[in-house]
Structure 1
């Protein structure tokens, strides 16, 4: 272990020990009405009902490492979007992608997908009311009408639609209910923040209810584009969701829902991390949020979707459920890699996609036997194009293409209680993915190609031009055993597999990597996990522990390397074998005097046993495993928080300090000292006053109180032809926000 790694591990271990000791030594039984810890949904932890296995179960009974965060908790924390989960969920990376305000990058236990290019599949599945969100564009979801979020760690290859090889994030919206309701919230804060959210529901008779929510999120930039004068790292997002629910009797429930999001925030061009050739316009700026990018400030992301859910209770033993959905998105964006006024390395781009999904489930409840079986179908297309503009060579490389996907799966998961204490579960899923990819890549003399506004550009060498198809299928099993030590404490052990289909590299350069036309292979993972969940000390302490070991094969890794003849060669490598192991520990406690506490600790360690690569156009694979490491995955993640509640002025005052520590991590598999993050600590403080009738709430939220600077993304294109374009993207600085909320 290196000296730096040893210091980081010692620092994390010391911090974790201190926090755990302070939590446990101060523990004592408290009154039932005291507040729950903020990382757990409202109510006793052992009473929380989740749908991680597609059926309602107690959190304690689910043999999965699982975190649950209530929507009300995130609202009370002033969370801007679902990326706030990263600050309170062990072994989770959830960031806004480089260059964007609304594209999501997710990793769980070292498994994910950093590259949001069309055609690439995420490694962490995102679901909204059981509807699979296939593309990361527009997936930075707001907190508009969230009931709760469930974060499932480890491969969920049995019950979930596609590519949940690292885990799943389930966004569960609120049911409308049969009582009218209205919520109006305004937030005002640093950097000109001005947000407005309205949520309402209205019953129309005894069986029908309609409702929805709309949110408008505005903020000036954390920095400035010194070339154009535009705001940099600003926010301008309008989102809404609407639903109608019909419950004609006890046996039938129907729900129609629709949503739309429009993000017109300026593009994020990043910050130059190094200078070049003594030219001041190539020098890094003092502020991490400023840029000199000259490509422009036009950016627009639009996503939309509709869904229909039907549940029919045929009998006490059988419930049938159908989920039908259609989604689409369009992104027009600009990335100025060189961060200078000139077109040294500029990339204008657009992406668009659509998807149709249909899932049918049969939920079984036969005494000792519980379970679900079903079928899932997906059809979709992802397409796009971009120019790689190399101004110094008066060269533009146009890349365009699309990928069609058809996926079908049959699945089932059954649990049988052998005794009152011992339950065995087994699941199986068969998945077949069919893909057809088309990739075109061509040189043009001139600045930009005809597709992006330069009809005078002279066409030149065709670097890639092919259409190919592939079919991948896998059977992914899962088995588990759960044993109740007491009525409120369970231990479990499980083994399961996950699968992510192969595909085609949409930016593959066949001139330098001819094998790109064959596409890349699927990746698989097998994980062994054991854990404990339960309540102790008269239900005043809830603890969840899990340890895991994963064997990860053929990991899909995107590598982009500048080449001496101009352009950037791209290749998706299938790493040979990677072993990942670690653990999660979460605890929530009720303490005396109206205080509650929460603590989360995660540890992830990964070793490449084999990493075969064909990069640089070689025909024989080379093992570079000793030079590859986990990306976007700190070894240690630690979060802790306290909530103190006291009666004040005919209401309740809640004070909630929070701390989140993330150890050092790399942005790519290859060490990049100029971009790799050394680790950081974020300190937040939330203060909320809620009236006794729960009608009014006043809040104050300080996020990143110490004003830490930390990288969440980057690009690495060194060399004179590329203007030494090594750029980093940074998380938000210190911000203060005030909240005013009224409910009816």
Structure 2
């Protein structure tokens, strides 16, 4: 897709406004669901956590839901923003990927970018399972609803949901002509524009088309020299970025609905994203003796290089090996729903998705030169380039039934994924300007890495039933059988230690999962429930070795209540989750790449509280709190071994206040919102810094205790605010303007840490304070 400038997009928006002679009603963003209210107070929040539309208060599981208005108010523009309001949910960037976030829910941490290893948090868009975090790189401007389901969802959502599931529902065509145009201007030269067009319905056919452009110049300046490294295809030349954290992204979303046949609705959706992103600055936090010996670090400035090392966020860093990354993500989906009669519905969901990414990373955090040879050439202590391509196909067939006493769903599911990964790791490279990097065949990799193809197939059958056995009493249960067939074709024989022979390796595994729950409604809008669930993350093959599935058993007690004329909503959940054969990805410099730790057990216990209060008309207060106590254990007799640590904070919190003033005489509305997100201190290193990582024993050795304490992520608040004037009459148009700020307190804690070797560690930090203004027109 050719790149269209932000200013050209604004011109299109303005031209459309001038050319539109007749104005039609267009959907305005609904009020925040948590703040929606009628005369009796809070209104229902509709979710599809059990594959059917029902009130959030009727679902016997912990769910946080956000509608389009709340998504806009919170400026949720990427997956990293989704965890803001949900208790015990933390979603963070990963420095090794431009788009694959790290998910943490109730002690389950996942987000591996390896195609052989699945995530413990399942992602869905319009009912389509996203097999890889990289598939989530699409613009969220056309999202109608987000549901965050906490705890295993193994029966209805299948494998790879031990921590929970995050479901996105995109906006459907309205069937009425209308245009929405939005623009954003902010600091760091933030420029964003979006235009959405809804077509009128014609013979049962309607469409919705959205184009969006988003760019900024980055948050951290590159103070080092610009160097170009001549890698062979498919990587191509890599030139040092000017700034880090920059992006220049375009996206298209198309939704088409056909409803011209009685009882039949067919939805087709297409999304495409073209991303050019510079990863956040990978800052050198600590070098240590090993790093100093490799790089001659103290003498680098005298040799012509740099020697920048800091545990604090810097506004500029000299990194020569980090170039802009490119990624293209796309997806097609087809959903057909046919009502056989008043009680039975058949639903089919089919999808084809894929992405291609080309990126690089630099793990010395500097612009180094030849440390000992005197050549004056550029020096890369440890770096990597990565080219990955993924395609996935999925089909799901559901039969849904409803009677006065019973609701049920049964389904069949098929998933197929093909992927290719070429990711050489480069150690101690000395190069001269214009000199090609010698990666010409699998055995010429300078330190290791991956060159492989992966084929993953999964089959499943499931059934779930909800029975209302007495007034207010509901019993639910379900089961699911999953079968996985996974193949790794390893094309790189050397120089891994131990060597993995070239060839194809496969693993086949099957498993039953089930859930059961009891819900009792003891008063209108008030109920309690108890739930038991099992789940698993698929096992498979990693670097020629078979590994076991990670399994979980979860117990949950909950209260869902509304009182004081529905002006107060309190939802409470208590849980315990027991996991076995944990799957954790680590890095082994001796192998020059990732390793899989498939060992240990873990018990997580916690509490989640979500409250919404309307103390007076116009004012809505929200307070959410999460507590998770994780107790890992190593499965070994080795006294030097310690269990792998969790990334989950013990405490998370969220506070918000929104005030909607009475409308002005001309119909203009004014609202104010302030939010605060809290994360308690937590680890971001799975083993103590300096300790070894063992695939079978966990962490070996105590490492550097003083440095390890310094690398604990501190507790922090992140404050945001927004003021919005909406429904501004502009002739026949309606306008909207918002002033906003994010991270207003300028929290600067580390966000991602990576232990390289011994006490050598690098990391990235939070984005600094951002602010800007949004403009909107609808006509």
5+ residue gaps, structure 1 = 1-34, 445-458, 509-516, 613-620
> Would the alpha carbon gap of residues 663 and 38 (structure 1) be closer, same or farther in structure 2, given more than 3 Å must change?
farther
Counterpart-to-counterpart distance in 2, 1:376 and 1:147:
25
- Per the TM alignment, residue 350 of structure 1 is displaced from its structure 2 partner at its CA by 0.9
Q: Which residue does 1:638 correspond to in 2?
A: 653
Q: How does 1:37-436 map to 2 (within 5 A)?
A: 47-227=44-224, 228=226, 230-275=242-287, 276=292, 277-278=297-298, 279-280=300-301, 281-284=306-309, 287-288=313-314, 290-341=316-367, 342-391=379-428, 395-436=446-487
SS at match of 1:690: strand
Would you say the 8 A contact 1:398–1:443 is kept in 2? no
- In the alignment, the residues of structure 1 paired with residue 35 and residue 113 of structure 2 have an alpha-carbon distance, to the nearest angstrom, of 31
Deviation at 1:250, TM superposition (A): 4.1
- In structure 1, what is the Cα distance between the partners aligned to 2:251 and 2:137? 11
* Mapping 1:566-577, distance limit 5 Å: 567-568=591-592, 570-577=594-601
Q: Is the 8 A contact 2:347 2:399 kept in 1?
A: yes
Preserved contact between residue 408 and residue 464 of structure 2 (Cα < 8 Å): yes
Kept in 1: contact 2:308–2:317 (CA 8 A): no
RMSD between aligned residues: 2.3
Displacement of 1:235 = 1.4
Does residue 1:689 correspond to 2:689, yes or no?
no
Distance 1:538 1:627 in 2: 49
Which secondary structure does the structure 1 equivalent of 2:396 belong to?
Answer: strand
Residues 79-123 of structure 1 deviation map (CA, whole Å, 9 limit, x = unaligned): 332322222111112122224442222121111314322222111
Note the C-alpha offset of 1:289.
Answer: 5.1
TM-score using structure 2 length: 0.82
Equivalence for 1:590: 614
How many correspondences in the alignment?
Answer: 670
Distance 2:90 2:329 in 1: 23
Report how far residue 648 of structure 1 moved: 5.6
SS in 1 for 2:81: helix
Q: 1:615-654 counterparts in 2 under 5 A?
A: 622=638, 626-631=642-647, 633-647=648-662, 649=664, 650=666, 651-654=668-671
> Larger deviation: 694-703 or 179-188?
694-703
Q: Is the 8 A contact 1:686 1:700 kept in 2?
A: yes
1:487 to 524, 527, 535: 524
Distance in 2 of aligned mates of 1:124 and 1:54 = 18
**Kept after mapping to 2: 8 A contact 1:41/1:70:** no
Question: 2:262, 2:275 → 1: CA distance?
Answer: 40
Q: Give me the whole-angstrom Cα distance separating, in 2, the residues matched to 1:491 and 1:46.
A: 20
2:778 equivalent in structure 1: 743
* Structure 1: distance between partners of 2:627 and 2:356: 37
CA spacing shift, 1:287–1:626, aligned 2, 3 Å: closer
Whether contact under 8 Å (1:398, 1:442) holds in the other structure is no
Change (3 A) 1:296 1:87: closer
Instruction: Choose from 463, 467, 476 the match for 2:513.
Output: 476
Instruction: Note if contact 1:675-1:728 (Cα within 8 Å) is conserved in structure 2.
Output: no
Residues 42 and 695 of structure 1: CA distance in aligned 2, closer, same or farther (over 3 Å): farther
Which of 614, 618, 628 is matched with 1:604 structurally? 628
590-599 vs 146-155, greater mean Cα deviation: 590-599
Deviation of 1:204 (Å) = 3.7
Contact 1:653 1:690 in 2 (8 A): yes
Deviations 1:368-397 (A, max 9, x none): 010110100001112201111111699432
The unaligned stretches of length 5 or more in structure 2 are: 1-29, 227-240, 368-378, 432-445, 690-707
2 CA distance for matches of 1:71 and 1:473? Answer: 39
> Would the aligned equivalents of 1:309 and 1:323 in 2 still touch at CA under 8 Å?
yes
Can you list the C-alpha shifts for 1:494-529, whole angstroms capped at 9, x where unaligned?
Answer: 000011111222xx4xxxxxxxx3221101101000
Do the aligned residues in 2 keep the contact of 1:611 with 1:624 (CA within 8 Å)? Answer: no
- SS of the aligned residue for 2:103 comes to strand
Q: Relative to structure 1, is the Cα distance of residues 692 and 219 closer, same or farther in structure 2, using a 3 angstrom cutoff?
A: closer
Contact 1:232 1:289 in 2 (8 A): no
Superimposed CA distance per residue, residues 157-187 of structure 1 (whole angstroms, 9 cap, x where no aligned partner): 0011431111000001112122222110000
Question: Of 534, 545, 558, which residue of structure 1 is paired with 2:585?
Answer: 558
Distance 1:627 1:307, change over 3 A: closer
CA deviation after TM superposition for structure 1 residue 546, in Å: 0.3
Residue matched to 1:496: 533
Q: How far has the Cα of 1:251 moved from its partner?
A: 0.4
- Distance (Å, rounded) in 2 between the aligned partners of 1:743 and 1:310: 30
Q: 1:729 aligns with which of 761, 764, 767?
A: 764
Q: Which residue of 2 aligns with 1:703?
A: 742
Tell me the CA shift for residue 627 of structure 1: 4.3
SS at match of 1:75: helix
Q: 1: CA distance between counterparts of 2:778 and 2:687?
A: 51
* Secondary structure class of the residue paired with 2:381: coil
